[in-house]
Structure 1
């Protein structure tokens, strides 16, 4: 049995983010193999960050928005269900692939009695991700109807099984593209004997789960005795005002820069010396993979999820206990002070491209779809 000839990929949007990137990669892969692919987003079709092949059918429902009251929420989700069902019906897919909790629930409700199997994907920890009581109840009621569930790391498999019962659960970590640019090791310092800045970088949505508040607290300890250290955080989100206030309170305005969303982060990654992941929990951290692919060593919390699957302690980075700001600061400081150790870790970092290759990612996804495709 092969991958069906017609497929629908459904996600909330194709703006910046790991889930959105993987959805676009999959759609382009299947289109490149001659399948008829429709990509449906709950948001608008314009303003996509990740490009799609020209032969992919692109449908944007334009139905993402804030619901000020529960009544508005019910009405808006009813509209989304009707529009989503019609878009999927017109696509006539052999299999629907859906991404992220709220979209998964809506797709499973919208496809009732349409006769097409739905493979759902969870990009966040089922145990740690905060879910409101309504969506938690809907997830329990709808997830057992899926044809199968994809999770990003082995640690989530058991909690996924509890949600979907006898349905298959596949572990498929995110993949990383080989970068266009690579970091040059051991860049010389500036002329005149001045000390070269030590550049720490991190990126992700400015949201509580990414733990940038803990990164700032750790960096304040590092910077206290190392005025040449700099921190750049790429990304945007709801936590930005709070993080800006924290930067001012810690007197780090001259050493920390919130750079906002960056279309091509590679150029900034290759100019850095160290990548730090400070998340409270992760799935299969794409930003971490991308940084290491560029040749950056990493310091990461050993947080629930997939960080330890990516960072090999004392091989290509350092893992510290989750949430331990003191240990995070110590690890960053050690690598800032020891360029030989840092470059030894950096020399192995780019192996992440082989360990999380696109080829293996596509092979596992194709096998999952072949398993549930109608005969």
Structure 2
């Protein structure tokens, strides 16, 4: 069987879907990666995957440019003749869903991990685009030969209430999974030394970047010796990206340590005590939170869709902070700085939850189960055995 993975960046396919592709490859299937050009695409060949580039600008609203992208996508699908097309993100799901019908692709899975800028922003551009995007989603995603995969029940409720996709075509698979054997607790975490706090995400304002920096300032004024680390790069394709010059000013001020994009996250997390994501973005299930959980870090996040899937009980498996509240975030960080027993206990509970609910082997198997339902046949490879400890 041939499967095409289609996303709006090669970065997403490499960092979020490579493990699924490798499982399919190990089971004897061909997986082809499809995305716009980018710095990560060249790595696919080393992993044994073909990579096809598409002339696509994920932020474009130019009708002529979008028509060229769509026509090119249809041509690729007609030439490759995949048995299944797996689309990721809203734009790729809409374009891929429509192109798959024209190209005669037998089965389509549309994965939407969070509803993103169009659905979360109250800006004029987002509010104008929202009705159009909903209309396109209803026209392209609700098809008898396609299934929709979402990452949290809140997003599923939105799709059902808006009647964007029939109820029986919606599946919830929480997160893209984490390798719990690669992300493991470190003996350094929860130590009595200087507390190190991390926010790892695309640098979008809605991820709580501003509140994170302000919390760092507040604690610095109180004389606390806590290091606030920021990992991630600006996202020029998103209108709400933090400007790189602004991040450099924060770093020059000494309020944060900015690492930019980090390749080896397990190594970084082995030096961190607290993972925080004070997000008010419409998340799927944030990768940084489940990686932090698997690494046995104490988590601080908001009671927002996606985030609440990881931290469900305040004080038990993490701490919950109100969105857009830097003072409250600073208070919670200070609490963990003062109470290292709580810090360690939260990390232990987070690790237990990551193993039980977010291990990538279970997530991949659930994805393959969706493929089998859509194709009406069992795929080679069988169920995944065991879980990490």
Tell me which interval the TM-score lies in, with the shorter structure as reference length.
0.7 to 0.9
Give deviations 1:13-47, integer Å, cap 9, x for gaps.
221x5x75333222222111111222211x12653
Are 2:263 and 1:260 equivalent residues in the alignment? no
Residues in 2 aligned to 1:66 and 1:365: alpha-carbon distance in whole angstroms: 28
SS at match of 1:291: helix
Are 2:21 and 1:27 equivalent residues in the alignment? yes
Give deviations 1:235-261, integer Å, cap 9, x for gaps.
01130347438738xxx8223122211
Change (3 A) 1:199 1:327: same
Q: Name the TM-score, length of structure 1 as normaliser.
A: 0.85
Give the Å deviation of 1:333. 1.0
Pairing 1:49-64 to 2, within 5 Å after superposition = 51=44, 54-64=47-57
2:138 corresponding residue in structure 1: 140
Pairing 1:110-189 to 2, within 5 Å after superposition = 110-113=99-102, 114-125=104-115, 128-130=119-121, 131=126, 132-133=129-130, 134-145=132-143, 147-161=146-160, 162-174=163-175, 175-178=177-180, 179=182, 182-185=185-188
Give the counterpart of 1:365 among 364, 367, 371. Answer: 367
Change (3 A) 1:301 1:57: same
Unaligned runs of 5+ in 1: 190-195
2:242 corresponding residue in structure 1: 239
Give deviations 1:42-88, integer Å, cap 9, x for gaps.
x1265338757744332112433765xx6xx1121111112111212
Pairing 1:1-375 to 2, within 5 Å after superposition = 5-15=1-11, 17=12, 21-41=15-35, 43-44=36-37, 47-48=40-41, 51=44, 54-64=47-57, 67=60, 73-113=62-102, 114-125=104-115, 128-130=119-121, 131=126, 132-133=129-130, 134-145=132-143, 147-161=146-160, 162-174=163-175, 175-178=177-180, 179=182, 182-185=185-188, 196-237=193-234, 238-241=241-244, 243-244=246-247, 247=250, 253-281=253-281, 282-303=283-304, 305-311=305-311, 312-351=313-352, 352-373=354-375
Q: Name the TM-score, length of structure 2 as normaliser.
A: 0.82
Greater mean deviation of Cα atoms: 306-315 or 259-268: 306-315
Give the Å deviation of 1:109. 2.0
Contact 1:119–1:149 (Cα < 8 Å) also in 2: yes
Give deviations 1:151-172, integer Å, cap 9, x for gaps.
0011221212221125510000
Greater mean deviation of Cα atoms: 236-245 or 79-88: 236-245
Task: Count how many residue pairs are aligned between Structure 1 and Structure 2.
Answer: 354
SS at match of 1:97: strand
Greater mean deviation of Cα atoms: 154-163 or 237-246: 237-246
Give the Å deviation of 1:110. 1.4
Give the Å deviation of 1:353. 2.8
Greater mean deviation of Cα atoms: 254-263 or 93-102: 254-263
Residues in 1 aligned to 2:106 and 2:259: alpha-carbon distance in whole angstroms: 43
Change (3 A) 1:156 1:316: same
Contact 2:197–2:226 (Cα < 8 Å) also in 1: yes
